[in-house]
């Protein structure tokens, strides 16, 4: 009985130590200055692109989604073509 209580207390102390322990992956001073500046605020990044590059970027992103949609439609049609619907009538 005492042995189980001691082992429970030991496990409990380990959990408390892990919960309140200082876990720092990057020590103070080792982080990039940019990240230390942004610690207490939400950063705003502004990116400037020429109009023609922005248009190319929008077209490329739309093409990817259209290609994906077309692929999925073809996949569904192929799946339907492989089904034997006569089995469902029985």
Q: What is the pLDDT of residue 53?
A: 92
User: Tens digits of per-residue pLDDT, 18-77?
Assistant: 766 655 666 666 667 767 777 777 777 888 989 999 999 888 877 777 788 899 999 999
Q: What is the pLDDT of residue 73?
A: 94
Let me know if residue 67 belongs to a domain.
Answer: yes
Q: State both tokens at 89.
A: 């009538």
Residue 84's pLDDT band (cuts 50, 70, 90) = confident
CA 10 centroid distance within chain: 36
Let me know if residue 40 belongs to a domain.
Answer: no
Rounded (5°) CA angle 41-30-38: 10
Residue 67 belongs to domain spanning: 50-84
Let me know if residue 77 belongs to a domain.
Answer: yes
Let me know if residue 7 belongs to a domain.
Answer: no
Q: How many structural domains is the chain composed of?
A: 1
Query: What whole-number distance in Å separates Cα of residue 39 and Cα of residue 43?
Result: 9
pTM exceeds 0.85, yes or no: no
């Amino acid at each position: 009985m005492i042995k189980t209580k001691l082992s429970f207390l030991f496990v409990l102390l380990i959990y408390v130590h892990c919960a309140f322990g200082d876990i720092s992956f990057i020590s103070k001073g080792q982080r990039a200055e940019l990240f230390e500046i942004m610690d207490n605020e939400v950063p705003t990044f502004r990116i400037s692109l020429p109009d023609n590059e922005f248009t190319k970027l929008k077209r490329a992103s739309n093409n990817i989604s259209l290609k994906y949609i077309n692929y999925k439609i073809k996949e569904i049609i192929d799946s339907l073509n492989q089904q034997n619907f006569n089995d469902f009538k029985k």
